[in-house]
Amino acid sequence: MADATDGFAYRMQLIGRRAWTISGAPDRPVDMTSAEMAVTAAERHLRTQVYSDIWDSLDQIDRHVLRVAAEHGGTVPRSTLGAAVPASASSLATRLNRLRRLGVITRDADSPQADVRLGTLAPLDFVNEQLEEAASLESGASAELAVSVAARRTAAPRCGRRLKTKDAYCILRAGHSGNCRSR
């Protein structure tokens, strides 16, 4: 279970809570089966409640940054990214700083030329799935899938609660548990 957290504190909380519930603790110990089920359940929660909400909040250029990183296996040199993304150098730098604060990317150093890596909140496999889904929707190969995806995304509107931070609103789905979050 500790290896599955990948150093992400929220994932550790999710896995621990799910393991506790699945095993029936404290009456029964957490065994390997309940631990494996907890890891799977926590990852499913992250994909549907966290990663997808963040992905939905990104614009096309943000997604292009993630696409370029994914095409390079999750880590891309800053110079390559600059050549591939349709934005000025200062606009790209501002965007990368915002994406880093979101946890979508990380940088190996504070240097402007440091490599850009996909972050905890945008794992490579998730980004690839989103890009494949977008490509299949764009190609028109699956109109039925497009309708179901659109229905799923419009079925749960955003919370939108105003936060204490100036001009910030909650980006999570309406009815979410826990505290509100902004970008």
pLDDT value, residue 147: 54
Whole-number pLDDT of residue 84: 93
Mean pLDDT of 19-44: 93
pTM score: 0.68
| pLDDT score, position 183 | 64
Tally of CA atoms within 13 A in the half-sphere of 32 that contains its CB: 0
Please determine, for residue 148, whether its predicted confidence score (pLDDT) is greater than 60. no
Does the pLDDT of residue 157 top 60, yes or no?
yes
Q: What are the CA-CA distances from residue 174 to residues 38, 48, 147, 155, 183 (Å)?
A: 25, 14, 21, 10, 16
Segment 68-88 mean pLDDT: 92
